């Protein structure tokens, strides 16, 4: 007997092929039949007429590892139809943990707003971390990349210097160890210290470790404002020198590069023509979000958070800091385009959702002075949203067939997180593409949009049994209403789940049934190279 049959669904299978009407049968954790056959007995028969059945969405650029210990249901992602969260992005991540450097890594992760488990970072490597996540029983599957920053902290600490030969060897060993355990590649975050302290040759050396296993090199590149084109050049060079598959994370044209998205896409196309395996991903919003400390120059971060705060308080360094922070604010389109999110302290909590220009005016200081005061008050941990992109660029990037959709957001429980300013991408990325850009604007077809959320990211990562509706593939499936699927999350009111997802199966079990969460948590860590074992044991 089958466990679930979707009867009469409009199947958009993830390949980009036109939709077909079919029945889809699931047995245990696998899809077993696509086509007629709805009379076979099944524990659950779903009338799917008028609804689209697609592979569960693969969020190739997720930061749900930041929130998973707080929200193992990843509600905001489940309601978008996501079944696989690719974590460890932007160089950030929770493994490896080097003995004696636990505090250094934990401080770093807290600066980036990670919720750490109450019992601390109680593992040392990828396998220990994966076991801890499996024990947490997440609702969605988790496919981790190894973050460059924890590798670097483990091998050499947070200093602003190149690794010694021995430290580089150690970093490569730690990476190889994570890959052997099943990590899907490495991510780098080249605007965030300590990743920003690495030279191209360090990154090429690490990427060479990936090439033999066909693992992914995903990068938040070294510049997204003035430095965009030089940073893309570097990503291309890393692909060329190492042979690794390269993914440019959250491609965008910001600030002074507004209007230049097409040039960026052309650069990637030229590199592909030259034989380099390079693609990108993207979220469909005209604002980005990161830590406010991203406007502080790199040299001031050297040595970690404690050193950053010491420098921000040092009167001798103040003139230089003010000048460089002021220039960084200008490059991102000015203080009026910067909105604060997540000011944790009670005295500043009400500033969440306010613009930096308004805060500086109220305090009677310059925006750069306000940045220093905020970072000192909050011990570095202030989130910020930067309104510095053009809608035409967003559409140009989204329409490119080599660009996957990735949220850059994290899983949140709307009731619990209410009141915290956050980027709506955590709630709306995928339904926004399906509603606003497919249904309302016809920027791309439904089949093409689904491909960019399923088989395209699956191919980038090297998934062999996810991303398509095919017999034998994992039963990660989303059933949604193409007439109503939409994002509801806005800047003013971000904590609103998307609408339109009717059913969501993860490993064959319903996480959403009839539009409501079931409470089931069937997700687990996906480990590269372990497909056969998965099939046998599930
Ligand atoms: Zn990033």
pLDDT tens across the length of the chain (538 residues): 889 999 999 999 999 999 999 999 999 999 999 987 666 788 999 999 999 999 999 999 999 999 999 999 999 999 999 999 999 999 999 999 999 999 999 999 998 989 999 989 999 999 999 999 999 999 999 999 999 999 999 999 999 999 999 999 999 999 999 999 999 999 999 999 999 999 999 999 999 999 888 999 999 999 888 899 999 999 999 999 999 999 999 999 988 888 999 999 999 999 999 999 999 999 999 988 888 999 999 899 988 889 999 999 999 999 999 999 999 999 888 999 999 987 888 888 889 889 999 999 999 999 999 999 999 999 888 989 998 889 999 999 999 999 999 999 999 999 999 988 789 999 999 999 999 999 999 999 999 999 999 999 999 999 999 999 999 999 999 999 999 999 999 988 899 999 999 999 999 999 999 999 999 999 999 999 875 444 333 3
- Cα–Cα nearest to 424, from 439, 438, 437, 414: 414
Distance 294 CA to ligand 1 centre (A): 11
Distance 483 CA to ligand 1 centre (A): 32
Distance 70 CA to ligand 1 centre (A): 21
Q: Can you tell me the distance from the alpha carbon of 215 to that of 93, in angstroms, rounded to the nearest whole number?
A: 17
Find the helix packing angle between 102-111 and 305-313, rounded to 10°: 60
Distances (CA, A) of 359 to 25, 179, 243, 490: 56, 46, 47, 22
Distance 287 CA to ligand 1 centre (A): 13
Distance 91 CA to ligand 1 centre (A): 8
What's the token pair of residue 124? 């040392």
Omega of the bond leading into 194 within 30 degrees of 0 (cis):
yes
The residues, any chain, with a CB within 8 Å of residue 506's CB and separated by 6 or more, are 56, 83, 139, 140, 141, 476, 520, 522, 523
Q: Can you tell me the distance from the alpha carbon of 223 to that of 294, in angstroms, rounded to the nearest whole number?
A: 11
Distance 239 CA to ligand 1 centre (A): 19
| Strands in 435-500 per DSSP E | 477-480
Distance 102 CA to ligand 1 centre (A): 23
Q: Would you give the end-to-end CA distance of the chain in angstroms?
A: 16
Distance 162 CA to ligand 1 centre (A): 22
Distance 432 CA to ligand 1 centre (A): 20
Distance 80 CA to ligand 1 centre (A): 20
Distance 368 CA to ligand 1 centre (A): 23
Distance 218 CA to ligand 1 centre (A): 10
């Amino acid at each position: 007997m089958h466990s679930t049959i979707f009867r009469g669904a409009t199947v958009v299978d993830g390949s980009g092929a036109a939709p077909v009407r079919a029945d889809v049968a699931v047995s245990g954790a696998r899809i077993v039949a696509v086509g007629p056959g709805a009379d076979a007995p099944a524990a659950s028969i779903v009338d799917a007429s008028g609804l689209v059945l697609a592979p569960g969405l693969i969020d190739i650029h997720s930061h749900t590892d930041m929130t998973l210990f707080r929200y193992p249901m990843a509600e905001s992602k489940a309601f978008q139809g996501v079944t696989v969260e690719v974590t460890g992005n932007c160089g950030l991540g929770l493994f490896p943990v080097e003995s004696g450097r636990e505090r250094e890594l934990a401080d770093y992760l807290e600066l980036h707003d990670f919720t750490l488990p109450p019992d601390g970072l109680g593992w040392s490597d990828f396998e220990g971390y994966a076991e801890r996540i499996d024990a947490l029983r997440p609702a969605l599957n988790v496919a981790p990349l190894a973050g460059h920053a924890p590798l670097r902290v483990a091998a050499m600490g947070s200093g602003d210097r190149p690794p010694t030969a021995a430290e580089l060897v150690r970093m490569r060993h730690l990476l190889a160890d994570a890959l052997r355990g099943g990590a899907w590649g490495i991510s780098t975050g080249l605007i965030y210290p300590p990743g920003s302290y690495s030279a191209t040759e360090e990154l090429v050396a690490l990427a060479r470790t990936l090439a033999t296993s066909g693992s992914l090199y995903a990068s938040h590149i070294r510049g997204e404002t003035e430095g965009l084109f030089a940073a893309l050049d570097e990503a291309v060079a890393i692909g060329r020198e190492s042979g690794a598959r390269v993914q440019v994370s959250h491609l965008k044209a910001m600030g002074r590069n507004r209007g230049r998205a097409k040039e960026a896409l052309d650069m990637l196309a030229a590199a592909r023509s030259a034989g380099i395996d390079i693609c990108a991903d993207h979220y469909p919003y005209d604002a980005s979000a990161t830590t406010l400390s991203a406007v502080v120059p790199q040299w001031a971060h050297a040595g970690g958070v404690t050193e950053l705060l010491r420098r921000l308080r040092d009167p001798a360094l103040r003139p230089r800091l003010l000048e460089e922070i002021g220039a960084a604010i200008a490059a991102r389109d000015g203080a009026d385009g910067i909105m604060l999110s997540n000011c944790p302290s009670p005295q500043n909590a009400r500033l969440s959702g306010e613009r930096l220009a308004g805060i500086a005016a109220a305090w009677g200081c310059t925006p750069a002075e306000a940045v220093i005061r905020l970072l000192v008050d909050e011990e570095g941990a202030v989130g910020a949203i930067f309104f510095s992109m053009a809608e035409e660029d967003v559409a140009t990037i989204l329409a490119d067939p080599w660009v996957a959709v990735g949220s850059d957001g994290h899983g949140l429980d709307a009731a619990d997180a209410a009141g915290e300013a956050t980027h709506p991408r955590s709630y709306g990325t995928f339904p926004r593409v399906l509603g606003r850009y497919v249904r309302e604007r016809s920027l791309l077809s439904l089949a093409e949009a689904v491909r960019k959320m399923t088989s395209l990211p699956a191919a980038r990562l090297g998934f062999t049994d996810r991303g398509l509706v095919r017999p034998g593939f994992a039963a990660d499936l989303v059933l949604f209403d193409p007439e109503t699927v939409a994002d509801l999350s806005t800047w003013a009111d971000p904590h609103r789940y998307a609408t339109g997802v009717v059913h969501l199966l993860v490993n064959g079990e319903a996480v959403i049934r009839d539009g409501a969460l079931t409470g089931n948590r069937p997700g687990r860590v996906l480990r590269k190279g372990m497909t056969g074992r998965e099939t046998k044991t599930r």
